[in-house]
Amino acid sequence: MFIRNGRLLGTDFFFYEECEQVTDDNLLGQVLNRIYMNDKAVMPREILLPFEYSDQQELEEVLNKKSERKVSVLRPHRGRKKELVQMAFNNAKMNLSEQRARTLQDEEVLRRVQNALHLKHLPMNVEAFDISHLSGNQTVASMVSWKRNHASGRTTENTESRALRALMILPR
């Protein structure tokens, strides 16, 4: 959760497939690195953690240097800050449940496609084509591609050519 001046500005969720095989400390390090070690990161004055982090002092030093001001990394034990950590934990549990439900729905849809098309395996890629025209003129073709376990692309570009360019350079 991103809270600034007492207001919730947003949330971000990361789903790791193999997180059971990673220590809590290692996983937390990966998440903190992903959030705060990029050039666009907005550095808060405080980062609240759900447990003691073994590299806490080193993390504070790196964040202080990066932000050019004091950043405190805390594990609150009571009070409002502890409530915020608990709220973040509850939100994460809820989002994980929703993600698992979506994954099960995706699997069910793929099983139906597999059965309908008599495929040996679940499809990994699905491509759909649409050809449109106006009374036989001005033919337009489009293709939508879905790839299993692959992030979808979105863009806010305001022209078709810019939007297409933005989507084409997505990592595949």
pLDDT for residue 167: 56
Parts of the chain with a pLDDT under 50: none
pLDDT for residue 82: 92
What DSSP character marks residue 68? Answer: T
pLDDT for residue 44: 83
Closest CA to 86 of 57, 50, 113: 50
Q: How far apart are CA 32 and CA 52, in angstroms?
A: 14
Whole-prediction pTM value? Answer: 0.56
Domain ranges of the chain: 2-116, 125-168
Q: How far apart are CA 120 and CA 134, in angstroms?
A: 39
* Three-class SS state of 75: coil
Helical segments of 37-159, H only:
56-67, 79-116
Closest CA to 71 of 42, 35, 47: 47
